[in-house]
Amino acid sequence: MKTKQLFFCSLTGLALLTTSCSSNDEALNGGDGTTSEGKTYAQIAISVANSATTRADGDNTGDDVFGEDNEYTVNDLTVVLADKNDIAMQVITPELKLATDADEADKQVRVTKPFKCTPGSYKVYVLVNYKNSQKALTPIIKGSTDMKAEFGLTDIDGDGTAIDGIAKLSTTGNFFMTNVSDPTEQKIDKDATGNATKTEVDDAGKEMTDGKNNLNLLQVDVERAVSKVTFGNSATQLSFDIKEGDNKIATATLEGASLINLNKKMYLVKNGRKATNKPVASEWPYPVDPNYNETSIDIATNFAQKEASEFKPVNSAKFYCPENTMEASAQLNGQTTGVVYKVKYVPEAAYYTELAKNGTDSYSKMFAKVLALTDKDVDITETMFTTADNEDGTFYSYNGYVFKTKAGARLYKAIATANPSDDAAAVNEAFKTGNEDGIQTYTEGYCYYTAWIKHNPTSKIYLEQDKYGVVRNFWYELTVNSIKKLGYSKPTYKDPTDPDDKAEASIQVQVNIKKWRWVKQTVDLE
């Protein structure tokens, strides 16, 4: 059986045998300079479920699924020993033994070499793959860092985005993981007597006849600190007909997806509480994050990637993001993590707006009057509504109408906003001003739709508590069910204060959640 370095989320059986321990890496760990006198031995043993036997392909919200091997890899462990007030007293990096084949229970095992610890009472924080992510997080400083305080996700490259820091939490084969729940204070005995006594185990987790005795054993479950977002549309489920009644007016094709509004603040350990509303009859956490109840926060300070970028093909895209939750009143566009879809929108030829043919009688008459002016603007022609500005699919929109030229959209607006008493000359003058407010340009025919991710996709109540948000170690799968109308011309939202629940949605998305927990969401685009 091949050697593996896997790690199972919500690890059951992560036996942590540690406390205020010394380390060879004094620079990282802030070694306390104590001698070995008065110390006891500890060891960490990690039992990891074998992917071959535990993989589950869930289809519904709440199903448990395995995910990918690289999401479970354990490269290093960092242990923070905190006092009763959660102040970091020491940071330890115990050395891992080699990974082994599965044991009799078909479990992958990772074990540390024994190390010395100072007896006492501590809250034990376990950080998996911390070496890869430590530059992304607010530093842990011995004697001062409150382990329950908010940690900022730093801007490693100095470009002001913090995206690089966020990415460090979910590097392939180096996913950052922490305790499943807040640790409670535990006593480490000098002689490791009673329930704490155990013989040293080998790299397969079996007791060694020649190993050390009286090791302190502490058990800690860990989970990934990020959420996962994927998409349920297959390669054959990307195109949708846009209709008005029974008439097809356009074809909309999903070409890409990207995340928006990534939280730049987090707690190291989930600040857990049970969801007040949940989609399945089981434990369903909805933790409180550092900006949970903020409704008027500095969005630039709290969130990265306000405009979507790095669009990936919808049928294969995969993203990871920090936890982001909010109370009902804070479920606003500017602070909810969402998906922006990039869509190729191709109007049917008959449904471009042509004032002379499809406008109301008053519009058509005004158009004719403007054409008849001796001093009309040179851009106003008979063909301004029928001949495209270019042939790359670019079109323009105003007030729900679609135009082949920007000049056509401008004249339509000039007529639509004219006072009833305005004559053709006044409309012509309004056109000359070039006022393009409200006119959107759809370059190469691309438009964008935003779907705000739901932690409770079954909720039908307006801005219900625990409805929106992404929770660590949850896997959200979004599937577009329909697209109802033309989207926005930019890959972002219009107003950060708009509520996530709209009176009418442009896109319908179905969400399913895996565990990883799986959240499935369907989307109707409008």
Segment 100-116, tens digit of pLDDT: 654 444 445 677 777 77
Kindly state whether residues 512 and 401 are assigned to the same domain.
Answer: no
> Which of residues 425, 442, 459 is at a domain's end?
442
Q: How far is CA 284 from the centre of its chain?
A: 18
Calculate mean pLDDT across residues 344-368: 83
Residue 301: inside a domain: yes
How many domains, in total, are found in the chain? 3
Q: How far is CA 12 from the centre of its chain?
A: 25
- Structure confidence at residue 167 (pLDDT): 94
Query: Is 202 strand, coil or helix?
Result: coil
Kindly state whether residues 196 and 340 are assigned to the same domain.
Answer: no
Q: Is 262 left (phi over 0), alpha (psi -120 to 50) or beta?
A: beta
Could you tell me how many residues make up the chain?
Answer: 526
Kindly state whether residues 354 and 343 are assigned to the same domain.
Answer: no
Residue 463: is it exposed, middle or buried by C-beta count within 10 angstroms (0-12/13-18/19+)? middle
Residue 292: is it exposed, middle or buried by C-beta count within 10 angstroms (0-12/13-18/19+)? middle
Mean pLDDT lowest among 106-115, 179-188, 240-249, 422-431 = 106-115
Kindly state whether residues 174 and 98 are assigned to the same domain.
Answer: yes
d(CA 305, CA 120): 44
Kindly state whether residues 258 and 329 are assigned to the same domain.
Answer: yes
* Top-confidence residue, 120 or 385: 385
* Top-confidence residue, 31 or 299: 299
Residues 6+ apart with CB under 8 A from 261: 303, 305, 306, 324, 334, 335, 336, 337, 338
Q: Per-residue pLDDT for 67 more than 70?
A: yes
Nearest by Cα to 145 from 91, 207, 221, 199:
91
Query: 504: which 2 tokens?
Result: 């009418």
d(CA 326, CA 101): 43
d(CA 291, CA 426): 52
Helical axes 361-372 vs 406-416, angle rounded to 10°: 110
Kindly state whether residues 458 and 375 are assigned to the same domain.
Answer: no
- Structure confidence at residue 22 (pLDDT): 43
Helical axes 424-432 vs 361-372, angle rounded to 10°: 80
> Which of residues 423, 442, 461 is at a domain's end?
442
Helical axes 406-416 vs 424-432, angle rounded to 10°: 130
For 88, 140, 325, the CA distances from 146, given in Å and listed in that order, are 6, 8, 21
Residue 91: is it exposed, middle or buried by C-beta count within 10 angstroms (0-12/13-18/19+)? buried
Kindly state whether residues 326 and 385 are assigned to the same domain.
Answer: no
- Residue 147 carries which DSSP code? T
Q: How far is CA 348 from the centre of its chain?
A: 35
Q: How does the average pLDDT of the chain come out, rounded?
A: 83
* Top-confidence residue, 170 or 91: 170
The beta strands (E) that lie in 225-295 are given as 226-231, 239-244, 247-260, 262-263, 265-266
Residue 243: inside a domain: yes
Torsion angles phi and psi, residue 347, rounded to 5? -65, 145
Calculate mean pLDDT across residues 359-364: 74
d(CA 388, CA 250): 17
Calculate mean pLDDT across residues 394-423: 91
> Which of residues 184, 209, 224 is at a domain's end?
224
| Top-confidence range, 3-7, 49-53, 275-279 | 275-279
- Structure confidence at residue 288 (pLDDT): 96
- Structure confidence at residue 338 (pLDDT): 97
Mean pLDDT lowest among 7-16, 153-162, 506-515 = 7-16
Residue 7: inside a domain: no
- Structure confidence at residue 8 (pLDDT): 36
Domain that holds residue 400: 349-442
Kindly state whether residues 497 and 388 are assigned to the same domain.
Answer: no
Kindly state whether residues 399 and 503 are assigned to the same domain.
Answer: no
Kindly state whether residues 62 and 123 are assigned to the same domain.
Answer: yes
Categorize the per-residue pLDDT at 24 as very low, low, confident or very high, splitting at 50, 70 and 90. very low
pTM: predicted TM-score of the whole model, two decimal places: 0.87
d(CA 402, CA 489): 12
Kindly state whether residues 166 and 203 are assigned to the same domain.
Answer: yes
Kindly state whether residues 125 and 271 are assigned to the same domain.
Answer: no
Residue 6: inside a domain: no
Categorize the per-residue pLDDT at 200 as very low, low, confident or very high, splitting at 50, 70 and 90. confident
- Structure confidence at residue 456 (pLDDT): 95
Helices (H), 417-463: 424-432
- In the chain, % helix, strand, coil (3-state, to 5) comes to 15, 35, 50
Nearest by Cα to 186 from 126, 236, 228, 127:
126
